[in-house]
A and B are shown apart, each in its own frame.
Chain A
Amino acid sequence: MNGHGSISSLLPDRAIWIGADATDWRDAIRRAGDALTASGAVTDAYTDEMIATVESLGPYIVIAPGIALAHSRPSPAVHRSGLSLVLLSHPIEFGHRTNDPVRLVIGLAAPDDAGHVDALASLAEFLTDDARRESLLGARDAATVRSLIGEFESAAAAAEAPA
């Protein structure tokens, strides 16, 4: 599964940032927004929209221990569906009761409510496995992230292919 709807198709190299420095949760979301902007999926304005989401609704985007899913709603600032993946050099507190501190910020942009669904489901599936998740959180460079995701998607495609 490397075509439409895969993690890889929405996560170009420029959207992967390992060892990003952030001073607080806003800054951490900004890094994920910068990576989405670098990949061409969004304009800068989307970063502010992602921060505003947490300001109005709280740190519910910290969906699992150490992992934040930064996103906002479809808007003119979103050019196309995109993901970004930012590993922070130092863990950051988002104010979440059980899942702080955050080490991985995933940025998500969606121009509608459909185009990103398969990739997001696939990414969630990737993260459910303890060993895969720990390997990702310990990645030292983008190439490692790329190969972890590539291996996962190849295995998933092989499992789906007819014998």
Chain B
Amino acid sequence: MKILAVCGMGLGSGLILRMQAEKALKELGIQADLEVADIGTARALAPTADLILTSEELAQQLVGVKPRIVTIKNFIDLREMVTKLGDAIDRS
């Protein structure tokens, strides 16, 4: 499975998303590839991913892409990440 962490510039909040997702996947016992993308390239990369992780604001700019989008409100709350990522993977 491949997860795309999307942020505005590809080097700030997306890195934090990736780091938190790595921890969450470890806790969930799930193997996945994690990649960071900026919002400009995310749409082009979306078809290669199974899941997209991003903020609510940026998710609005990705409407219509194929993978399920998981939106994170608090990027430093591991519980939110574990719950939402776990739910999305169960359903996909």
Chains A and B come from one and the same complex: yes
Q: Which residues of A does B touch, CB under 8 Å?
A: 53, 57-61, 63-65, 67, 69, 71-74, 96-99, 108, 110, 113, 116-117, 120-121, 124-125, 127-128, 133
Q: What residues of chain A lie closer than 8 Å to B74, measured between beta carbons?
A: 63-65, 98-99
Interface centre among B11, B19, B75, by most chain A C-beta atoms within 10 angstroms, is B11
Min CB distance A63 to B, Å, is: 4
Interface size on B, residues (CB 8 A): 24
**What is the bound-complex CA distance between A96 and B74, given in angstroms?**
11
10 shortest interchain CB distances as A-B pairs:
A60-B57, A63-B75, A58-B57, A60-B55, A71-B12, A57-B8, A124-B16, A73-B9, A64-B76, A64-B74
- Whether A53 pairs with B16 at a CB distance below 8 angstroms is no
Chain B interface, DSSP helix/strand/loop, else mixed: mixed
- Whether B7 pairs with A60 at a CB distance below 8 angstroms is yes
**What is the bound-complex CA distance between A110 and B76, given in angstroms?**
21
**What is the bound-complex CA distance between A57 and B62, given in angstroms?**
12
Q: What residues of chain A lie closer than 8 Å to B38, measured between beta carbons?
A: 73
Q: Which residues of B does A touch, CB under 8 Å?
A: 7-13, 15-16, 19-20, 38-39, 55-58, 61, 73-78
**What is the bound-complex CA distance between A113 and B13, given in angstroms?**
13
Known contacts A64-B74, A71-B11, then 15 further A-B pairs from the complex at CB < 8 Å, ordered by chain A residue: A53-B8, A57-B8, A60-B13, A63-B13, A63-B16, A64-B76, A64-B77, A65-B74, A73-B11, A121-B15, A124-B20, A124-B75, A125-B19, A128-B76, A128-B78
**What is the bound-complex CA distance between A65 and B7, given in angstroms?**
18
> Contacts A97-B56, A128-B76; is A61 near B13 (CB within 8 Å)?
yes
**What is the bound-complex CA distance between A64 and B7, given in angstroms?**
14
Q: Which residue of B lies closest to A61 (CB)?
A: B13
Q: Which residue of A lies closest to B9 (CB)?
A: A73
- Whether A120 pairs with B57 at a CB distance below 8 angstroms is no
Q: What residues of chain A lie closer than 8 Å to B9, measured between beta carbons?
A: 53, 71-73
**What is the bound-complex CA distance between A74 and B19, given in angstroms?**
21
Q: Which residue of A lies closest to B75 (CB)?
A: A63
> Contacts A57-B8, A69-B13; is A63 near B76 (CB within 8 Å)?
yes
- Whether B20 pairs with A60 at a CB distance below 8 angstroms is no
